[in-house]
């Protein structure tokens, strides 16, 4: 799995790099700075939320299933069977909102589906063989990919979606790499659209959004630890 994750991370990096050379087709050409700022903030928040979901899912899975032989039905797995893949989808959506034209997400969705749906089906077959009726019952009560809105309202979300700082290291390299590449491309892109003064504004914008996100993590972690 680690090899697959590294390959996927490398492919994402290559895709972002290649996109620079195709910027005339992929990057937005809007002159509406307010619209651009709103999409940037929304995109970065969704991107960071995707990484947070992956961090929580991987960290919880590592703690609960040390030997890899335990069916995980707690933590984020209460709401859906594949939280890490949903996190990856959020990351892709966030990158598109910050950097690209809206139609690029359709392309991303096709590529995402081609890569991950067969992988999900393969993993589910393996889990069904491993856990049998227990896994079948879990599938009946838990959504495959998108959590049920009714289930979210019925369940205490904070009880299951908690955060531990030691879990961050698993995704830290990918998080930093994606943020640096996205920030660099966005600053370059907006400098071309709105002028060189965007360098300071965009740098400050990314810093403030990331700082606010870290503050949320600190508060969220403290609340969980107090229980």
Tens of pLDDT along 144-190? 888 877 666 667 777 777 778 888 888 888 888 888 888 887 877 77
Cα gap 95→91, rounded to integer Å: 6
Q: Where do the structural domains in the chain lie, given as residue ranges? A: 33-226
pLDDT band at 89 (very low <50, low <70, confident <90, very high): very high
User: What is the model's pLDDT at position 184?
Assistant: 81
pTM: 0.80
Residue 11 has pLDDT above 70, yes or no: no
Contact present, 196 and 30 (Cβ < 8 Å): no
């Amino acid at each position: 799995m680690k090899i697959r994750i590294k390959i996927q991370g490398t492919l994402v990096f290559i895709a972002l790099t290649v996109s620079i050379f195709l910027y005339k087709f992929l990057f937005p050409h809007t002159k509406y700075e307010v619209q651009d700022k709103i999409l940037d903030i929304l995109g970065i928040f969704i991107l960071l939320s995707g990484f947070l979901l992956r961090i929580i899912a991987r960290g919880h899975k590592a703690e609960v299933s040390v030997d890899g032989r335990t069916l995980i039905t707690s933590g984020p797995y209460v709401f859906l069977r594949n939280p890490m893949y949903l996190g990856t989808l959020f990351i892709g959506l966030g990158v598109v909102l910050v950097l690209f034209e809206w139609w690029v997400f359709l392309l991303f969705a096709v590529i995402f589906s081609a890569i991950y749906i067969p992988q999900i089906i393969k993993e589910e077959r393996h889990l069904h063989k491993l856990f049998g009726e227990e896994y079948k019952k879990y599938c009946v009560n838990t959504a495959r990919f998108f959590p049920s809105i009714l289930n979210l309202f019925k369940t205490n979300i904070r009880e299951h979606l908690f955060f531990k700082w030691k879990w961050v290291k698993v995704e830290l390299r990918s998080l930093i790499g994606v943020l640096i590449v996205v920030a660099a491309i966005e600053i370059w892109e907006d400098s071309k659209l709105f002028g060189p003064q965007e360098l300071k504004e965009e740098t400050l914008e990314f810093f403030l959004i990331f700082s606010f996100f870290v503050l949320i993590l600190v508060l969220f972690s403290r609340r969980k630890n107090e229980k």
